[in-house]
Amino acid sequence: MTFKTALCALFVFLLSIQSLAFATPISSIVVTNTSDSDEILAGENYRVREFQTSNIGNTPVAINNNVASFTNQFSWMSAQIVDPGAPNFALIYQRHISYELDFTIEDPSNIGYSLDIDTALRGYLTAALNEEPLDPNAPETANAHIQVSWTSFLGKIDDGSGPVAKSGLNISGGLVSVTESNPEINFLIDKNKNFSAGNYFGTKTFSLIFSTRPSPNASTVLQNYTQGEAAIRYGLDPLHTSGGDLTKPDFNLAFYPGSDGETAGNHGHFVNVTATFNGQIGNPVPEPSTFLLLGFGLAGIALISNKRKIR
């Protein structure tokens, strides 16, 4: 009986020790995609339009002394093709990208921390005129032209008191265009911003909202009876394949890796969140149930000790 009691007490004690887990300084990381819906419009008249977004995911929370951080990657692509024979004058394809990144900074002891947010935007703006001549219906004055535009990603932060726009979270994009004299371009966007959100105390949930709304947007324009391809790529390949259907052309340039060796994993909108605490983090913090288990374990050991003394 003594052996069984001792074994039971030891099991409860070890269980209580095992449940002593390190507190997670950053928790509840959630991304909500509020972009326009994905679509593939591969209709007649030699036209294809495609738009898609995806949250690639976040890295595990890294802890280094009093600093905790993680990085999230959000990617998208928007493109259209018009092949010779397609009746068109000015085809404009505009899509909006937006998402919300929520996370909680755990500070139950109120030691305080500063919050810094670094953002990076990497991607391609691609445009190429088709080598075929312009639509025979085009007037002689038509100037073949393709324009690809990525204007700005606007950022807001909400620390519980409501979303506030912050210029330090904004990243501007760029614009490229091609004509008959310069028929192809593959332009790399590579921009970074740093933003200090401020100092805080206590456990708090934050929301970062990034959006091209209301007016800025990602757009591709094929003007003046132009045939060709226009694409905005931030980490995603197009899904469309024609399957041999000549009325539904394939994308030719909008695939990774790029000619310069850039890969999809390096492209997208990256958000790095860093919390620098005013004291050491990562110390074991037992939950209330842990104290209860520990108490049972110690009580069991004490009971065994008392039985031995009585004998």
Same domain, 265 and 252: yes
Q: Is residue 165 part of a domain?
A: yes
Same domain, 272 and 165: yes
Same domain, 73 and 115: yes
The SS3 assignment for 266 reads helix
Phi, psi of 233 (to 5 degrees): -130, 120
Q: What is the mean pLDDT of residues 242-269?
A: 74
Query: Which bin fits 65, alpha (ψ -120 to 50), beta or left (φ > 0)?
Result: left
Residue 139 confidence (pLDDT): 54
Residue 172 confidence (pLDDT): 84
Residue 284 confidence (pLDDT): 42
Residue pLDDT, tens place only, 117-140 = 999 999 988 888 775 555 555 555
Q: What's the pLDDT band for 241 if we cut at 50, 70, 90?
A: low
pLDDT over 70 percentage in the chain: 68
Same domain, 237 and 293: no
Q: Is residue 34 part of a domain?
A: yes
Q: Which token pair is 165?
A: 């726009």
Same domain, 103 and 118: yes
Same domain, 241 and 102: yes
Q: How is residue 264 annotated by DSSP?
A: G
Q: Which token pair is 184?
A: 């192809």
Same domain, 267 and 308: no
- Alpha helices by DSSP H, the chain: 2-18, 288-310
Same domain, 60 and 115: yes
Q: Is residue 129 part of a domain?
A: no
Residue 243 confidence (pLDDT): 55
Q: Is residue 134 part of a domain?
A: no
Q: Is residue 79 part of a domain?
A: yes
Domain range for 71 is 22-86+96-123+153-172+189-213+230-285
Per the structure, the count of domains in the chain is 2
Q: Is residue 199 part of a domain?
A: yes
How far apart CA 253 and CA 223 sit, in angstroms, is: 19
Longest pairwise C-alpha distance within the chain: 112
Side chain identity, residue 310: I
Q: Is residue 146 part of a domain?
A: no
Same domain, 56 and 115: yes
- The per-residue pLDDT of the chain, averaged, comes to 78
Residue 12 confidence (pLDDT): 46
Residue 144 confidence (pLDDT): 63
How far apart CA 180 and CA 193 sit, in angstroms, is: 36
Decide the pairing of beta strands 268-277 and 204-211: unpaired
Same domain, 244 and 109: yes
Same domain, 57 and 6: no
How far apart CA 190 and CA 194 sit, in angstroms, is: 14
The SS3 assignment for 118 reads strand
Same domain, 203 and 281: yes
Record the pTM. Answer: 0.79
Residue pLDDT, tens place only, 139-175 = 555 556 677 887 688 999 999 999 999 999 999 878 8
Q: Is residue 245 part of a domain?
A: yes
